[in-house]
Structure 1
Amino acid sequence: MKSSCVFAVLLLLVALPSAIHGTDVPVFIWGKPSVTYVPALSRYATSEFGALIESQTDEHTFTLIFAEDRLSTEDLSQCKLNTQTCFRNLAKLSRKSYLPNVNEPLQIFQQGTNEIQSVQISADGTLSERIVPKGGAIAVVNFDGDDFASHDALIDSLYNKLRAEFGNILAVYTGKTPSFRYSKLIRRTRQAAQAPDVPKILTVENIFLMAYEKFAVGAFGKNLSEVTLEKAEKNDTGSSETTLQIDIKGASGPMLSLNFLLAQGSWEIVRLTYDSEQYYLRHRVHINQHFSYHCNSLQYYTHDMKKQIIFGEVQLQPYWPTEGRSEFKRFGDSWDCVGFTSPGILTGLFLVAIFIFIGAYGIVWMMDIRTMDRFDDPKGKTIIVTAAD
């Protein structure tokens, strides 16, 4: 049971990176005492895998290859039978090498001059022709289908049978092609994914600048309708030296009006009107007049809390000529809508308070420890402490 768990965890750890290359398949090698353990996350080219096999074989070695039509590390890690891995016999092997990424491993056996025997094995274990193990020979046992649990049992049975006839065997379990193409899956996912929102820019030359990704309006607590804002204009009637009104027109629907106030070196949005109805921000925000304001979700509500407006990823900044600049083409430093005391800060303060209390309590206890005022004299009379003392 412990070996099976370790085997499954190992396969899960290497399952993802092993499928990145489209022609790579996993390989198990066992049978010879000299089989070495290789790094679990390494990728072997065909030539590198050939060098590894060559180091394990000689003219006295019989090479037995079990080949699936399709095999990937996802099959090894995800195939379960009664909550256990389908490859229970492979998991029990005490000494084996597992290579999750090998590029076309079967090619190296076709390049040599050794005698190669290719046989087909049926579901009941019957071979299309008899395998006679001998030194320097190679036998390829081909599986059909994807019943990996029965294939694992057939591998164990056939390997033990041939090993009883010929002791010097190197066994290899692999696949002809991968059954899972991770690169294609990633490509399809990226193609299906929506393109990121591009911020929309609204500007009134040298007066107002605003960038946003989303503007939605509707009933509070329900799905909001997204509205595209197209053009911003200054309303001279509602503007003065310390006030500024910007009217923003949408592709369709009512107009949005923003009223800004400049006072004591800071500006704020004092009123927001949409469809002739005023909306309010729950918390008033004062921004330094040289700063822009940024918020990932700026929300306004009507006075009766029945309607709602949301700006998504919005950044805006009004401009007054009294600021001493002749041009206004980009945002100033950003003032974010995150509160001063975030949950992390409050958690830290709470923990510090607990440590201070524990430390103070311990110091008070230590201060209450009293030094002995009587000491025993080894030459004198024994000290007797009465209840009154």
Structure 2
Amino acid sequence: MTVSWSGSRDGSSIAEKNRRMSTQVRLLGFIAFLYAFVATGDSTAQVPLLLWSNDRLPPLASPAAGHITSREQLKEFLSSAFGSGSHTVLLFLQDKLSKDDFTVFGGVYGNKQDGAFQNLEAALQSSSSSVVLPALEWSGISAIPALLQEKLGASPVLTDADTLSHLSLNTTGSNLLLINLPYCTGLHVSCKEVLHNNDRIIGEVLGIMKAKNVPYTAIYTGLEPSRVISELSMPSQPVGRSLLATAADAVKPPIVFSLLGSPCIMLWVQNLTVSFTVGSSWIDLSADTPSLTGSHCDNSSALLVLNYPSIVLSFAMSQRFYPVSARNWFTLDSVQLQFNGSTASYLGSRGIYAPAEYSFHCQSVTTFRDALLILNNTNEATAQWRLNFIDFQIQGFKLVNGTNFSYASDCAGFFTAGIWMGLLTSLLMLLILLYGLHMIMQLNTMDRFDDPKGPSISVPQTE
């Protein structure tokens, strides 16, 4: 009986060990599967990068099929290309771009004669040297501009063909010229038409640089992929909490208008949205690159005109000397919005001003709630039009250079609602304290006490 019981115990122990070992093997296999799953999902976000120059570039071996160029490899190549001397870099930064755009709409990777990238192909073929990276690891919308800014030591200047034709470039130092290009949104025009128009802009800019006889290096890439092809549905971004510092928004370069090579008007806005009927969806114009045709500036007035495909925004500013403060001040006099042949005019009559050597900044500039812009005309067709500028900053006079604003005069007053609430609460608590001290100081001691050793106080009783 003892032997039989002992043998049964050993057998169950061996079975338990085998079961545990099998569970561990399955667990390790599941972990390995998850690791491969996540790794495959993380490697799908890529953007192509095309680089060409009318000067000699360092050699770069052609990547193998399926190879994804890492950020570190690109950083090493840019270090060897821009390591010494001054360089002028044209960065054509499209909102979205993927290798599929070339294969579908013709161009570098296709053989179509009517492709949307004819000027780009001609520039690559006629350049002294060129580098094509079909798959560059995408690590954020600000990765390429930030990397070029670090290597060149120059801040990006937002420009277009019209502004570049009047801009005088200082070739003794490095220049980083940023040309933003839109991408198709599925509204009104097709992707091929948008890409063909972008290719036309590239051709105009390259023609201007050739006419100026300035050596340059051009880069064409995207802010983010237009198509992320993934065989798995797991998102590439980690799920869960993350520090706010690791998810900082990209900083866009300001819009700069220059006259005779000298910058005179600068505008920066995070979101520039318009709406033409109450309750309709907002149209964000900040993602597009406007033409600055019609803008002008002098010592007393400045006009910045933003020309979009169907919308025109105009900012009129002026400066005057005020004897009371003994200094010059500039004001944003009006903002005009033109759409479909109609014009709405808004007056900046509620505090849009600053010293002439400062810039003006406001977190929110609207025409409908706590409005800083007041509708001037009474046209019924434009009565429902609305403007909404988020994180708005503008300067029209006394610009020191074309890359930085002067000290900003903010629209927020010192005594905000929170400060007033704190002051009133503190005053109320102080009044309560003073009232309590006053009550304590009014207390008086008794002028007669009962002595236990002496005769007691007798109170006669009457019947």
TM-score, with structure 2 as normaliser: 0.39
Comparing both structures, which one devotes a greater share of its residues to strand? Answer: 1
